[in-house]
Amino acid sequence: MDFTYTETQDMLRDTLARFLADTYSFDQRQKMIASEAGRDPGIWKALATELGILSAPFAEGHGGMDGSHLENAIMMEELGKVIAIEPYIQTVVIGGGALKAVGGAVADAVIPQIIGGEAIIAFAYAEPQGRYDLANLRTTAKKDGAGYVLNGHKAVVYAAPWATHLLVTARTGGSQREAAGVSLFLVDANAPGITRRDYPTVDGFRASEVYFENCAVPADALLGGEGAALPLVELIVDQACVALGAEAAGVTAKLHEGTLDYSKQRQQFGQPIGRFQVLQHRMADMFIEVEQIKSMTLMGTLKLDLPADERKAAISLAKAKVSRSAKFVGQNAVQTHGGIGITQEYMIGHYFKRATIMENQFGSADHHLSRFEALTLKA
């Protein structure tokens, strides 16, 4: 058992933190969000080329730094501290994770594009009726000659407006909620037959409703076995859950820190409100919750490569705790700030918005506790 980071990992964290300190102030972030594209593409490009750190979790053979989940967690925690709106989870964790898992020619082709910052991948997995059930799919992929034809509607696809590729789940067989028959495709985002309705999200990202209408894709768009991709989809969503936990560690650390600073400045009844014991205890509890998010994220990171059932049980516990704790820290940060906590102009509310959306992203606490129960609490 060993809990130390390598020097390379420490450097990765420092490099990214320094870069974000220069480029990602709250005002800079708000400007990116308000811009037409909803982002500053230069940031992603700089992460890829100037800093060269999108390579961190990839194998040397693909031009990477031979890292893995821990590198993703380090990146996401730092990005969380500035509530960055970069498509890291979608592109590197999920897209990269799927490509690493399947390997082969498509991985050899696309991973270097991710590392170089040219490829941005959005994960089109959710559907309006599906909630958090990854197998609940109405989108179909019908065999057509050598390739497939996709039809269906994918919901709230984060980063889709920016994407070069869509990673799409679709049925090649089976009934609507069956495990068998789920397939995964990596599709050119601009392929004919794809239309999008783009919109901003409450936490500062851009997303789309994505419609496939007789969208023809080549045979090599299929990742993994036809109809047998559910385990792969579960794996990458678990990887995303852990990355999200790391982001939550960064977001909630800042929520706590901001609240603490504010409580030392804000005067009421002739003294800083931080002198009041009722607020001191609340902030002590927030501190504990932030620490627990870090602990659960580390646990999840270190258990991502376990056999599937053990992994799923562990990740579900982690995600459920992250959801609960993020809610606690976010709500109490706003409450402690008082009225200013619910204004657009003040920073804390934007961290709260991101924390709130993270609660349910990739599955709510209830969803994950149910999955944990089904796996471990057998009669």
Partner 1 sequence: MNLEFSPEELAFQQEVRTFIEENYPADLRGKQDEGDELTKEDFLSWHRILHKKGWVAPAWPVEYGGTGWTSTQRFIFSEEIARADCIRLMPFGLTMVGPVIYTFGSPEQKAKFLPRILSGEDWWCQGYSEPGAGSDLANLRTKAVRDGDHYVINGQKTWTTMAQHADWGFFLCRTNSDAKAQEGISFILVDMKSPGIEVRPIITLGGEHEVNEVWLEDVRVPVENRVYEENKGWTCAKFLLAHERTGIAAIAGSKRGVERIKEIARTESDGDQSLIENPFFRRKIAELEMDLTALEFTELRIIAGEAAGKGPGAEASMLKIKGSEIQQRIMELGLEAVGHYGAPYFRGFGEGDNEHPIGPDYAHRMAPTYFNGRKTTIYGGSNEIQRNIIAKMVLGL
Q: Which region among 81-89, 183-191, 192-200, 280-288 touches partner 1 (by CB under 8 A)?
A: 280-288
Minimum distance from residue 173 beta carbon to partner 1 (Å): 32
Q: Which region among 81-89, 122-130, 229-237, 258-266 touches partner 1 (by CB under 8 A)?
A: 258-266
Pairing of strands 165-171, 121-124: parallel
List beta partners, residue 151. 140
Minimum distance from residue 86 beta carbon to partner 1 (Å): 24
Q: Which region among 91-99, 147-155, 185-193, 273-281 touches partner 1 (by CB under 8 A)?
A: 273-281
Residues 57-86, mask of contacts with partner 1 (x by CB under 8 A): -------------x----------------
Considering only residues 274, 357, 360, 364, which one is a binding residue for partner 1 as defined by CB under 8 A?
274
Q: What is the spatial distance between Cα 280 and Cα 256, in angstroms, rounded to a whole number? A: 12
Q: Can you state the angle between helices 277-303 and 230-265, rounded to 10 degrees?
A: 160
Q: Is 19 exposed, middle or buried (0-12, 13-18, 19+ CB in 10 A)?
A: middle
Considering only residues 46, 288, 340, 357, which one is a binding residue for partner 1 as defined by CB under 8 A?
288
Distances (CA, A) of 8 to 56, 64, 379: 10, 13, 46
Considering only residues 164, 295, 360, 364, which one is a binding residue for partner 1 as defined by CB under 8 A?
295
* DSSP string for residues in 237-279: HHHHHHHHHHHHHHHHHHHHHHHHHHHHH-EETTEEGGGSHHH
By CB under 8 A, is residue 7 in contact with partner 1?
Answer: no
Minimum distance from residue 57 beta carbon to partner 1 (Å): 14
Which of 156, 113, 79, 64 has the alpha carbon at shortest distance from 351? 79
Query: Cβ(58)–Cβ(96) under 8 Å?
Result: yes
How long is the chain?
Answer: 379
Residues with Cβ < 8 Å from 50, sequence gap 6 or more?
none
Restricted to residues 306-325, the positions that interact with partner 1 (CB under 8 A) are: 314, 317-318, 320-321
Considering only residues 34, 105, 146, 379, which one is a binding residue for partner 1 as defined by CB under 8 A?
379
Dihedral-angle region of residue 214 (phi above 0 means left; psi in -120 to 50 means alpha; beta otherwise): left
Pairing of strands 194-200, 206-217: antiparallel
Closest to partner 1 by CB, 311 vs 353, is: 311
Considering only residues 170, 296, 315, 333, which one is a binding residue for partner 1 as defined by CB under 8 A?
296
Query: Cβ(244)–Cβ(76) under 8 Å?
Result: yes
Restricted to residues 86-145, the positions that interact with partner 1 (CB under 8 A) are: none
Name residue, tokens 């067989």.
173
Closest to partner 1 by CB, 187 vs 253, is: 253
By CB under 8 A, is residue 266 in contact with partner 1?
Answer: no
By CB under 8 A, is residue 265 in contact with partner 1?
Answer: no
Closest to partner 1 by CB, 34 vs 379, is: 379
Segment holding 141, helix H or strand E: strand 140-144
Query: How many residues sit close enough to partner 1 to count as binding (CB under 8 A)?
Result: 41
> What is the token pair recorded at 198?
């783009």
Q: Which region among 43-51, 147-155, 157-165, 271-279 touches partner 1 (by CB under 8 A)?
A: 271-279
Which of 87, 83, 88, 86 has the alpha carbon at shortest distance from 203? 83
Q: What is the spatial distance between Cα 56 and Cα 47, in angstroms, rounded to a whole number? A: 11
Residues 353-372, mask of contacts with partner 1 (x by CB under 8 A): ----------------x--x
Considering only residues 17, 216, 260, 357, which one is a binding residue for partner 1 as defined by CB under 8 A?
260
Q: Which region among 119-127, 152-160, 211-219, 283-291 touches partner 1 (by CB under 8 A)?
A: 283-291
Residues that bind partner 1 (CB under 8 A): 1-5, 70, 260, 263-264, 274-275, 277, 280-281, 283-285, 287-288, 290-292, 294-296, 298-299, 302-303, 314, 317-318, 320-321, 369, 372-373, 376-379
